[in-house]
Amino acid sequence: MRAQTQLSRRTLLRSAGLAGIAIALPRLEAMIEPRAAHAGTGPKRLVVFHWPQGLPVGWGAADDGFWYPTQEGTGWTMTPGLSPLSPFKEDINIVSGLTYEQVYQSVGSHGHACALFTGYKAEPETPGSSEPTSRGPSIDRIAGAKLGATTKFSSLATGLYDQGEGWWSWSDAGVRNPLELDPKVLFDKLFAGVDLDPSAAAEAAARQKSILDFVADDLSRLQKVVGTADRARLDEHLSAIRELEKQVTTPVSASCALPPEPTGVAYSDGECTEYARVMMDLCLMALRCDLTRVCLVSLGPSQNYRVFSNLGVPIDYHNVCHRGLADPGQDIHDSPEGQAEALGYYKDIATWHMEQLAYFLGGLKADDGAGNLLEDTAFVATSEFSGGGLHHYQFIPVIVAGKLGAMATGKNIVFPCQMTEDWKTPPWCGSKSGTPNVCINDLWQSALTAVGALGEGEKFGDPTLDTKPLPGLWV
């Protein structure tokens, strides 16, 4: 029998022209041997995208249907507020109905928002202080501690301008992790001493081309001389080889090249789009070059006084959210006309935030020859409020993406939410059945579990809460 097996293997190899190729074949029926199976994935990443001060919701019937879809599952209709994400509708899931009221504690006017990314109630930095401090690390730092052992940076946290940025990233309890706000400083930090010559990167990518690509013709001939069952086994085996290659090599992307050094890009309200995209491009290149596998990108602080002059908005964002109540010299007042005008500005700003999110998603999805980054990423975009005017920490807006765990996308996943006051309960989640007001800690638990950053029995945030992964996501 052994002699027959060896003869069959030599005969098959000669028939296919593979006798000189150093590649193992599965043991086919023609070789009188069983097959083996294998599955694997590439490096896992966590990417978090934040926009400040929520959405124009909670203002009554005028804002219904602007951002949140009302249909569940795959049949949801793109809303005006989500329209910049139309090209990515099949790549994302909308998650509606989550809250962080379980870890809410007001410190100052906006300080409780640090609970969003840490899963703990904020505390005053000192007794009686209005400055918040955290009782634990934020999600980006937790993931970085597990995913960053072999990368230049365990995690990156970036923002646009300096107004309380430390609320979003915390290295540990009481330890702020300041966001990097300057593109020139970020460039130097990321790429100083890193040789990423474009031609060298392309050559490296070519060297790492799959061995299967080099023997494709020979494999095709082999498949023609074996039986149906063997062809199926051979296909499975070759797929397993490709997956194994992902695990034992770190692909060098052909587009992993030294990006242009930012010059003359200083933040201004009028040129904020350019500034935001330079920062996002640097983060995307850091991920492509595997300088980090964890990235937090914030478009601004919660106590936000930016003036969106690029959008023709004449008053600061904070007062827009509060219906333009207290901005001397501006023709917006607490009147029906003034509220309608402020609501229009709020919608313009919310749309701009979605445009930046669409740009970032486009960069993650772009296939540079080594696959797109979303394939192995848990991606979450969110804000600290649903409605910024009344600081709603209920029904937080969430968008998720990424193919970890073969997550099905293109859906609106709705969890029930029910506020004490009827007027606070939105139409997109108030009528749903089930336990209402699911804590957003469960979302972070899902993301951290998907990327392998939590061990068995570990929880994100406050350990006294009944935190568990959410159904329908990556795990």
**Residue 293 and residue 164 share a domain:** yes
**Residue 67 and residue 8 share a domain:** no
Structure tokens, 146: 């597990």
Structure-model confidence comparison of residues 337 and 463, the more confident one = 463
Residue with tokens 């300096």: 162
- Is-contact 254 205, C-beta < 8 A? yes
Neighbours of 239 (CB within 10 A): 14
Neighbours of 406 (CB within 10 A): 6
Assigned domain for 354 exists: yes
Residue with tokens 């070519």: 206
Helix orientation angle between 228-248 and 216-225, rounded to the nearest 10 degrees: 150
**CA dist., res. 262 & res. 65, Å (int):** 39
**Residue 171 and residue 84 share a domain:** yes
Structure tokens, 270: 């009028």
Q: Which amino acid is at 450?
A: A
Question: Tell me: the pLDDT tens digits for 4-44?
Answer: 434 344 444 444 454 444 455 554 544 443 333 323 357 99
Q: Is the pLDDT of residue 452 over 80?
A: yes
**Residue 287 and residue 184 share a domain:** yes
**Percent of residues, the chain, with pLDDT higher than 70:** 75
Structure-model confidence comparison of residues 173 and 13, the more confident one = 173
Question: 475 pLDDT band (50/70/90 cuts)?
Answer: confident
Please tell me the predicted confidence (pLDDT) of residue 263: 82
Stretch 101-108: mean pLDDT, rounded? Answer: 87
Question: Tell me: the pLDDT tens digits for 229-238?
Answer: 777 677 667 7
Question: 368 pLDDT band (50/70/90 cuts)?
Answer: low
Please tell me the predicted confidence (pLDDT) of residue 210: 57
**Residue 64 and residue 9 share a domain:** no
For the chain, the domain total comes to: 2
What is the DSSP track for 257-312?
-PPPPP-S----GGGHHHHHHHHHHHHHHHHHTTS-SEEEEES--SS---B-GGGT
Give the domain extent around 273: 47-194+266-450
Assigned domain for 256 exists: no
Question: 205 pLDDT band (50/70/90 cuts)?
Answer: very low
**CA dist., res. 444 & res. 456, Å (int):** 15
C-alpha distances in angstroms, 254 versus 31, 201, 315, 439? 40, 6, 45, 41
Q: Is the pLDDT of residue 448 over 70?
A: yes
Q: Is the pLDDT of residue 147 over 60?
A: yes
Assigned domain for 72 exists: yes
Please tell me the predicted confidence (pLDDT) of residue 463: 95
**Residue 32 and residue 153 share a domain:** no
Assigned domain for 179 exists: yes
Q: Is the pLDDT of residue 454 over 80?
A: yes
Question: Tell me: the pLDDT tens digits for 55-102?
Answer: 998 766 555 689 999 899 998 999 999 999 999 999 999 999 999 999
Q: Is the pLDDT of residue 247 over 70?
A: no
Structure-model confidence comparison of residues 174 and 204, the more confident one = 174
Assigned domain for 42 exists: no
Q: Is the pLDDT of residue 354 over 80?
A: yes
Chain centroid to Cα 219, Å, comes to 38
**Residue 73 and residue 137 share a domain:** yes
Question: 196 pLDDT band (50/70/90 cuts)?
Answer: low
Chain centroid to Cα 200, Å, comes to 30
Assigned domain for 457 exists: no
Q: Which residues of 384-403 are buried (b: 16+ CB within 10 A; e: fewer)?
A: bbbbbbebbbbbbbbbbbbb
Going by C-alpha positions, the residue among 413, 408, 402 that lies closest to residue 450 is 402
**Residue 13 and residue 58 share a domain:** no
Assigned domain for 273 exists: yes
CATH number, domain with residue 382: 3.40.720
Please tell me the predicted confidence (pLDDT) of residue 160: 87
List Cβ neighbours of 265 (8 Å cut-off, separation of 6 or more).
183, 184, 274, 275, 278
**Residue 293 and residue 233 share a domain:** no
Question: 173 pLDDT band (50/70/90 cuts)?
Answer: very high
**Residue 225 and residue 336 share a domain:** no
Q: Is the pLDDT of residue 203 over 90?
A: no
Assigned domain for 145 exists: yes
**Residue 65 and residue 187 share a domain:** yes
**Percent of residues, the chain, with pLDDT higher than 90:** 46
pTM of the model: 0.79
**Residue 280 and residue 391 share a domain:** yes
Q: Is the pLDDT of residue 113 over 70?
A: yes
Neighbours of 102 (CB within 10 A): 20
Stretch 161-173: mean pLDDT, rounded? Answer: 78
